[in-house]
Chains A and B, each alone.
Chain A
Amino acid sequence: MEATHDVLVVGAGCAGMRAAIEAYDAGANVAVISKLHPTRSHSGAAEGGINAALGNAAEDSPEIHAFDTVKGSDYLGDQDAIEIFTREAPGDIYQLEHWGAFFSRMVDGRLAQRPFGAAGSPRTVFAADITGHVLIQVLYEQLVKRDITVYEEYFAWKLVENDGRCQGVICWDLLNGGIKVVGGKTTILATGGQGRIYRTTTNAYACTGDGAAMALRMGLPLKDMEFMQFHPTTLYPTGILLTEGCRGEGAYLINSEGERFMKTYAPNAMELASRDVVSRAEQTEIDAGRGINGSVMLDMRHLGAERIIERLPGSRELSMTFAGLDPIYDPIPVRPGAHYHMGGIETDNDGATELTGLYAAGEVACVSVHGANRLGGNSLMETITFGRRSGRAAAEWALSNTTIDVPRSAEADAERDLRGLLDVTEGERPWQIRNDLGTSMLDNFGVFRREEQMAKQIEIIGELRERYARGVIVEDKGEVFNSDLVQAIELGNMIDLAACMLQAGIARKESRGAHARPYDYPTRDDENFMKHSITRWVGDGPVLSYKDVRYTKYDPMERKY
């Protein structure tokens, strides 16, 4: 074994770093494991902002924030968790500011807040269009200040369970090679999202759902796996996000007939309707043959060069670099892309999972604050608030004198599995399976879900699992920076998670939040489906059950904006 620690945090995005800092401050010996250097985590790509009811820009309160969040979740969010979340969010923001976060401000020196979709008050704290970058920097600075151990470029592969507790993590050391076992009295999974299951996604290459897959293999329950949020303006063909700010500044969405089609779907809000509404409108247009190359056009030309250069420099740079088009002169092709996964490892309000000693926080976890649909700006806040709570809980548990015992067999098993992966000489390269998975998920389990397509996709995933099980060839057999090996493992994780998503999706016979079935179940069915879907891996496949939503005082009503 490499070393042992009180608290092991897997993942160094906003959630992981916040958890590590809190556990350290609670007196624990902490280490962070991450397959990327902390500042490379995808939290850094968030542009828009982070929600807390500070009330700086207008009257606001945690209660209003909670109401918006419950309603936004389409009543699938756990209301007690949401109340904790909105109550503790402001304190967490002040804390970040005291640590030095470079947030944007108002003339009077207080933190500025901007309006965001489906929020009753302008409550999104931001830093120009680099909010995530600023958060990642300030958290890493605090990590450095505390001199917290970071196992950089360690790929976490398996969890070690012994004596009914999670006692450590088995990793592949990317930089130097070799299996490394790190022991921990408690482990916090903070590995982020799984958008890479889809071919068009705003997520980074590293967002492959590793933590959720590791938990799944331990027999732990995943929650609400069918809910994947699609963002309406991702760049064709890469899926890189163009911020909602473009539409905020007045950009139009145009179909192949040159029409501002949003007038049919949201005559009042037009392009500024909520994310799911706009994504569905776009998909309807594309499906009806009014798209161009499978996209619609985001037209900013009428805003004029000055406004585009001044207000949307980031979006212009992204369009020019990744589509080769300048929004001053050209409409930009966009389409809905997988953006945020609401589901994840089921946890309580302190991040604890079913397995003693194992916690989860951030996008990989499902507390659930976001229910069936996340509001923009709530996920960064969740990483901070629940990262902190799980860090505290894990440290307290670890400091109550538990010992660590990682059986030797764990490492030997991992070595054997590793040889199994590297020794494959016949079969296909992983990229073909990865492309097939991404394309088919987008076609059959995207913005709209149809019974037949979901059934077909379940078959496709079955075939992909078989192809993967037959063996994929890892060409790089070396020790040093073997990313070929890591990518093969990630693919296996994604296929299994996709299977869970489909099973929960086809069983949810209603339309709620991001799960839209306009052709057979167009409405929400609170009587039968106001419950979380719970997925466990049993034997060779996922098994589904349900669990009630935790309710305090917000009665379901129709979600109209």
Chain B
Amino acid sequence: MQVGLKVWRFNSRTGERELQEYEIAAPEEATLLDCLDIVKDQHDGTLAYRKSCRMMICGSCGMRMDGAAVLACKTRMYDIAQAGHVPVISAMGNLPIVKDLVVDMEPFWDKFKSVDPFLQPGYEEPPDGKEYRIGQARMNVIHKEALCINCGCCVSECNSMEADPRFLGPQALAKAMRFVGDPRDGNKIARLEKLNGEHGIWECTRCYMCTERCPKGVDPRDAIAKLGAESMHEGIDRDMGAKHAKWFVVSAKTTGWLRETELVPKTQGVISAIKQTRFALDLALKGKVPPPFPPHVAKNVKESRRLHDLTTQQGPKGYMGIVQGERALGKLAHGHTAEDETLAEIYARPGAFTRPFIAGEELEAPVFLEKPPER
């Protein structure tokens, strides 16, 4: 098949930038990476990009196609070429470009390193010298996070990083969750304290671009949500973001709806709220802010309160609560709504998805760690 590509060339030494077009013949099964190889071999040996495994596991070949991050080796060209489309290929975003499609990954790895990405065991090694004993179900809690191949596609698309390049970003935070959720780790509180600092979890705008672009299903935004929930569960809630989230809950519970006028003082504090008064007044004049008094109470506020009670009753807090929520969603997604069927039964059905960790079952899936943490 004939494939057309427009590639943004870049030379960091001279600063030259140029959109170069290539027209090549490629086999029908070719991926974007195969096409770049053909360009490099037969048309232009100076084109630079990274590659190695060509089977979407090494994480080398992250780049942008028509402005969205992809793994070149995972992107099949057949449909694109058949449609007569000539995609624009460029380097990933949010990282400095070194040459053509090659970015400098150092900022990426610096952030990775800054979250102490290694186990800090909270337990003595088992006296028999063998493995820590932990049920598979308990380990499944961090399965998604363990899939990350460090390709950088999420970082490339992260909106918050564009605004604050020092934001830890989706990859580092997903990695952090991999250890916060590991039952063998003994340093959860210190980790969470650090992640709640400047440029930490609360800087995320929840735009979900990371989850959208991740080629491995790591779902970094979900990991960030779990870190947030766990922080609040552990009482680490001084950040504006945490207060913001808490106010959501209070607001939903009391009036069944979000009271924006109170939101600002509750999350940013009174002083900074006063600074925003002008802005608020402008909004109010344009009819964007309902008057604070008397508070508007939603018609079905009872439902909202019941929902609140129900989630509180369910027990698990912090990231376990979110894990449980995911399971419940999974249950809905499978159309299993029979009231008397337990989650365990549902996952035992033939054809059901691999059985994940179900928070309420912690006792059934024992965690045999030899000694309690020494703290």
Contact = CB atoms under 8 A, between A and B. Distances in A.
A44 B54 contact: no
Contact of A110 (B42, B129, B131): B131
A8 B197 CA distance: 38
Interface string A421-440: 00000000101000000000
Interface stretch (B98-106, B307-315, B317-325): B98-106
A108 to B, nearest CB: 7
A132 B57 CA distance: 10
Contacts of B133: 108-110
A141 B365 contact: no
Given A36-B58, A98-B121, A324-B76, A480 B130 contact: no
B45 to A, nearest CB: 3
A514 interface: no
A305 B17 CA distance: 48
B125 interface: yes
B250 interface: no
A37 B105 contact: yes
Contacts of A429: 41-42, 45
What bracket does the count of chain B residues touching chain A fall in? 35 or more
Interface stretch (B219-227, B298-306, B347-355): B347-355
Contacts of B132: 97-98, 109
A324 B52 contact: no
B234 to A, nearest CB: 21
B46 A476 contact: yes
Given A102-B139, A105-B135, A141-B119, A133 B55 contact: no
B342 interface: no
B283 interface: no
Contacts of B11: 478, 480
B213 interface: no
Contacts of A99: 118-119
A112 B136 contact: yes
A303 B314 CA distance: 39
B58 A204 contact: yes
A40 B78 CA distance: 27
Nearest to B132: A97
Interface in A23-72: 36-37, 39-42, 44-45, 54
A302 to B, nearest CB: 16
Interface in B125-174: 125, 129-136, 139, 142-143, 146-147, 149-150
Nearest to A479: B13
Interface in A101-158: 102-112, 127-128, 130, 132-134, 137, 141-142, 144-145
Interface in B18-64: 27-29, 31, 40-42, 44-46, 48-60
A237 B27 contact: yes
Contacts of B49: 483
A480 B78 contact: no
Contacts of A241: 55
A299 to B, nearest CB: 19
B48 A111 contact: no
Contacts of A483: 40, 48-49
Contacts of B371: none
A40 B52 contact: yes
Contact of A237 (B29, B99, B185, B367): B29
A205 B98 contact: no
Contacts of B136: 104-107, 112
B31 A475 contact: no
A175 interface: yes
A247 to B, nearest CB: 19
A475 B45 contact: yes
A206 interface: yes
Contact of A105 (B27, B99, B100, B139): B139
A481 interface: yes
A91 B52 CA distance: 32
B157 to A, nearest CB: 20
Contacts of B184: 100
Contact of B118 (A91, A100, A130, A237): A100
B368 interface: yes
B76 A321 contact: yes
B87 interface: no
A199 B360 CA distance: 52
B99 A39 contact: no
B117 A141 contact: yes
A40 B133 CA distance: 30
A40 B58 contact: yes
B118 A142 contact: yes
Nearest to B147: A130
A552 interface: no
B368 A484 contact: no
Contacts of A142: 118
A103 B56 CA distance: 21
Contacts of A478: 11, 46, 99
Contacts of B104: 175
B366 interface: yes
B55 A322 contact: yes
A94 interface: yes
Given A98-B132, A137-B146, A175-B98, A324 B105 contact: no
A62 B86 CA distance: 58
B134 A100 contact: no
Interface string B69-102: 0000010101000000000000000000011101
Across the A-B interface, the 5 shortest Cβ-Cβ residue pairs: A475-B45, A100-B119, A109-B133, A431-B41, A141-B118
Given A108-B366, A109-B367, A144-B112, 20 more contacts: A37-B109, A40-B50, A40-B60, A93-B131, A97-B132, A100-B118, A100-B179, A111-B131, A112-B136, A128-B143, A133-B149, A237-B27, A306-B350, A310-B354, A322-B55, A476-B48, A479-B13, A481-B102, A483-B48, A484-B45
20 contacts: A40-B58, A45-B55, A98-B121, A100-B118, A100-B185, A103-B131, A106-B136, A109-B134, A110-B133, A112-B136, A142-B118, A144-B113, A204-B54, A238-B29, A306-B351, A310-B354, A321-B74, A322-B29, A323-B29, A474-B45
